[in-house]
Amino acid sequence: MATKARKSKKKSNRIVLIKKANDLIESRYKFDIWETRIFLSVLSQIRRDDQEFQSYRIRYRDVINVFGLKSGDSYAYLRDGARSLMSKKFVLNYEEKGVKREKLYHILRTVDVMQDGEEGKSGSTNNEYIDVVVEDVMRPLLLQLQKNFTAYDLQNVVKLGVYPIRVYELLKQYQTIGHRTIRVDEMKIMFEVEDKYRLFGDFNRWVIRPAIKEINEYTDLMVTDTEKVKEGRRVVAMKFTFRQKNEIELAEMRGEDIQQLSLDLVNDEAAAVEREMEQEAEHSIAKTEKDKLFDRFHRDVIERFAVTPSVFLHLLEKYSAAEIEKAIGVTNRAKYNQQIKKSVAGFFVKALKDGFTDEVEEKARKKEEQAQLKMELATALSELEERKKAAINDKIRELLKANAKLTNQAIKQLRSDPITSIFIKTKEEAAGRKLTVDDFRKDRALVDAVKAKIMELAKDDFVDLLAGFEAEGKVLRKGRG
C-alpha cells in the first residue's frame, strides 16, 4: 500500500522550522537554486517525532508562495530540479584510526513528476506537484535530532541565493557565540567551488560579499564585521562577527509598522524591561550609566517627543550619549522645518537607529564612503594585477613547453638591444663573468626582462589574454570610480 504523500506547508506568519545535523551543514555539496528550494521544502515537512521518512508532496504553487517567486515561472523548473537532485549527493569527511575518509550520501530514493509537455493542458494545474522520497541513509542527518544540530525559521532563507544560504547556516551554528572563523579552503571545498574561484579575491567578490549583503538584508542575523586572517600575504581564513537582530530591526525587515512598534515596542518586552529596571532600582543606590543618560535626555525624548519610558530604556541599552544627542538634534530640526509627517517619537527612533545626519555630517560621510570605494578599487585592481601576472606566467610556461628554444631567443635579443645590453653588461661586470641561462632564470630583474621579451616575440598569443584583463579593469574602474 502506497504511503500518502505529506503536503508542503503554505506560506504563513508562523515559524516553519528547518533542522539539519551540523555534519550535513558542513558537508560538501553543490545545489542550484531549485534543488535548494526542493530540499528545503522537504525539510519543512519533517516533524519532530518522525522516525521514518514519508513521501513528501511539493506543490508548485506552494513553492511560488513560500519563496516569493513570480507565478509566471514554469513547473518545468520544479520538475527539472527534482530530476537533477536525484543525482546529487552529500559528502561528509571524517577520520577513523588516523585515516581520513569520506562518506557519500545519496539524497532522494524516488521522484514522481508530471511528464514534459503535460503542463498547460486543461486541468493540469492540480497536477503541478512532485512527490519525493528521501533515502533512508539520510535519517541520522535529518530525523530525531537531539544534539549537534542547527535549526532556523525557513522564512530567513527564502529570499537568499545558494551561497548566502550556505554561509547563513554556517553562522547560525555559532549564533550563541556571535563569531566564527572559517578557513577559506574549507569553505571552497564545502561549496565545491575550489576550481571556479581559486583566488581569494574572486571568492570574496562573488561568494562572501554577496552572502553578507543578503544575510544582513533578509535574515534574522546581522554580520557586523569580517576580518581576513592571513599567513604572510595569503588570506587563509575569514572571521565573521555577527548578532541576532532586535525586534525593531526584524519588524522593519518584515515591512511591519516600525513607528507603532517603536512606540509600543512589544508589550511583553516593554513590561519586562520596566520590571527589570524597577528591580535594579530597589537593589542599587548608585546610578548606572543608563540611569544618567535617562536623566540627561528624558525631557527631550519622553516629554517633548512622546517616546514611552520603556522604549527609551530599551534604546539606552544599545546607543551612546553622542548618538542620542545627534538624533535629538536631527529630530528637533526636522520638527522645526515641519518635515515629520507622522509620529515624532517614531521619527526619533528611526533617526537614532539609522544614524540620520545633518548636511555637514552627510558630506563627511560621503567623503568617507568615497575613500572606502577608492580603497576597495585599489584592492580589486591589485588582485586583478596578481591574476594577470599569474595568467601571463601560465601562458609563458605553455609556450616554453611547446618551444624550448624560446628562452635563448629572448636572451639573444636582449643582448642585441641597445638598452638592455648595457644592463646585462653591468650585471656581467659585477659578476666578473658572462651571464649564463641560469642567471637569467634566477635574477629577478633578468627574469622580468626575459618574460617581457617572450611576450614581445609571441605577442599574438597574449592579445586576447591582455585584452580580457584590460576590459575587467575598465569595468572595475567604472563600477567603483
Give the chain's domain count. Answer: 4
Compute the distance between CA of residue 90 and CA of residue 23 in angstroms, rounded to an integer.
10
Give me the chain's average pLDDT, please: 84
Residue 10 has pLDDT above 70, yes or no: no
Residue 72 has pLDDT above 70, yes or no: no
Task: State the virtual CA torsion across 399, 401, 406, 407 in degrees, nearest 10.
Answer: 110
* Closest by Cα among 322, 336, 327 to 358: 327
What is the span of the domain harbouring residue 405? 366-480
- 170 vs 273, more confident: 170
Q: Are residues 109 and 93 in the same domain?
A: yes
Q: Are residues 112 and 179 in the same domain?
A: no
Residue 191 has pLDDT above 50, yes or no: yes
Name the domain boundary from 245, 278, 307.
245
Average pLDDT over residues 161-187: 93
* Residue pLDDT, tens place only, 380-437: 888 989 998 999 999 888 988 888 888 888 889 889 988 888 988 998 888 899 988 8
Q: Are residues 119 and 13 in the same domain?
A: yes
Q: Are residues 348 and 302 in the same domain?
A: yes
The confidence score (pLDDT) of residue 102 equals 95
- 133 vs 287, more confident: 133
Q: Are residues 451 and 385 in the same domain?
A: yes
For 134, the enclosing helix (H) or strand (E) is: strand 129-134
* Residue pLDDT, tens place only, 218-251: 999 999 999 998 888 889 899 999 999 988 888 8
Q: Are residues 396 and 433 in the same domain?
A: yes
Q: Are residues 265 and 198 in the same domain?
A: no
Domain containing residue 183: CATH number = 1.10.10.10
Say if 361 falls within a structural domain.
no
Q: Are residues 29 and 143 in the same domain?
A: yes
> Cα 208 vs. chain centroid, distance in angstroms?
4
- If you write DSSP's letter for every residue of 241-276 in order, what string do you get? EEEE--HHHHHHHTT--HHHHHHH--HHHHHHHHHH
